[in-house]
Structure formats: C-alpha cells, structure tokens
Amino acid sequence: MPHDDPDHPHALMPPDPALRVKALETILTRKGLIDPAALDEIIDTYQNRIGPKNGARVVARAWCDPEFRQALLTDANPVLAGLGYYGRQGEHMVVVENTPRQHNMVVCTLCSCYPWPLLGIPPGWYKSDAYRARAVREPRKVLAEFGVTLPADTAIRVWDSTAEIRYLVLPMRPEGTEGLAEDELAELVSRDSMIGTGLPKVPS
C-alpha cells in the first residue's frame, strides 16, 4: 500500500490537521488558485456575521412571540427550516431555555459539534481540550472564567452535542428591554449567550 511507504509523499504530510490546512493553503496561494484575503473574508463571514446573527434573530423572535417560542422549544427543526436556518451541521436542533432555576450550557466533549447555520464557525475555545473536559466537570468555574456568575440556586445543565444533535441556548430576556423592537433585541444576543457561556448584553 503506497500510504504505508515512508518514501511516499503522503507520508510526509504533517499529522496535525491545522498544519495540513496551512500547507494546503500555502500551495494553493503560491499557485495563484486562492486569495488568502478572500479566505479570511469567508471565515469572518461565518464566524462574525452570518452565523451568530441568525441565532440572535431566532432568540429575539422567541422573546417577542410566545407561540414561536413554544414551537421552538417543542420541535425546533421545522421552525428553523421555515426560516432557512438549516443544512450542514445543523440538521437536528434542540433549543434549551434558560430560566431563573436552570442555566444551560453547550459543549461537544468528543470534538466540536456546533450549530453552524445558527452560530457560524465554532470559536477556538469551544474546540479546546480544556473547555471540552472542564465544561462537564466544573461548569460553574468555567462560567466564572467567562465572566458569568449565576445565583447559587440556579442549576447548571450541560448539554453534550453530537453529530446527531446540536443545541442552541435560548437565554433569558434582559430586564429593561420591554420597549425594544425585535431587531434591537437581536443586537443584545451575543454568540456566547447562545452557547451558554455568556449572557445577553444589557441595553445601555
């Protein structure tokens, strides 16, 4: 088998996927086949623009529309599909609601499963060994490191994503937002608040 031959070029590929990607990117750039600036733009789009904004719109709508909220909590998939937020890495969505009694937090202990159509590309820390191990073992401590301190009587429930099921946290609507319109509310919904490692912004 050629792949077992140490002299075969494939055997020289770096083992770390990040290095492989970097090597591939370098070759394609040198050959003029890709533009690194365009790649950065695509990543930025998923990471900072399209992704979390979709989730934020869903959350804001759930805050304003009790029927929508109920449908989302009962079975999120037809609701999200109706909004066009479905596809790769977001096929089987479950929405979990934060309440004064229970705070929800999402992790993928195995790898980095994450609801792409709603939140974009997962942040680096979500994929880190430390987060994946500690979110389950000491969630309250992890939350404190994210700047989230919850009342002692608020239970923390950690949801482990899989290739089958992805979770979206529906955070609690901040106080003092009664007069805000849905799109103004969406601005308050941070990415981390939908993973459960943050809270929505409070209007200034």
Footprint of Fe ion on this chain (CB under 5 A)?
108, 110-113
Q: Which is nearer to Fe ion, 117 or 200 (CB)?
A: 117
Q: Taken in order 118, 91, 80, 96, is the CA torsion positive or negative? A: negative
Residue 84, judged by CB atoms within 10 A of its CB (0-12, 13-18, 19+), counts as: exposed
Active site residue 112: yes
Instruction: Give the distance from CA 66 to its chain's centroid.
Output: 24
Q: Which is nearer to Fe ion, 13 or 111 (CB)?
A: 111
Q: Least separation, in Å, of the C-beta of 162 and Fe ion?
A: 7
Q: Which is nearer to Fe ion, 113 or 194 (CB)?
A: 113
Q: Least separation, in Å, of the C-beta of 196 and Fe ion?
A: 16
Active site residue 193: no
Q: Least separation, in Å, of the C-beta of 9 and Fe ion?
A: 30
Active site residue 64: no
Q: What is the DSSP string of 70-108?
A: HHHHH-HHHHHHHHT--STT-SSEEEEE--SSEEEEEE-
Active site residue 113: yes
Tell me the catalytic residues. 108, 111-113
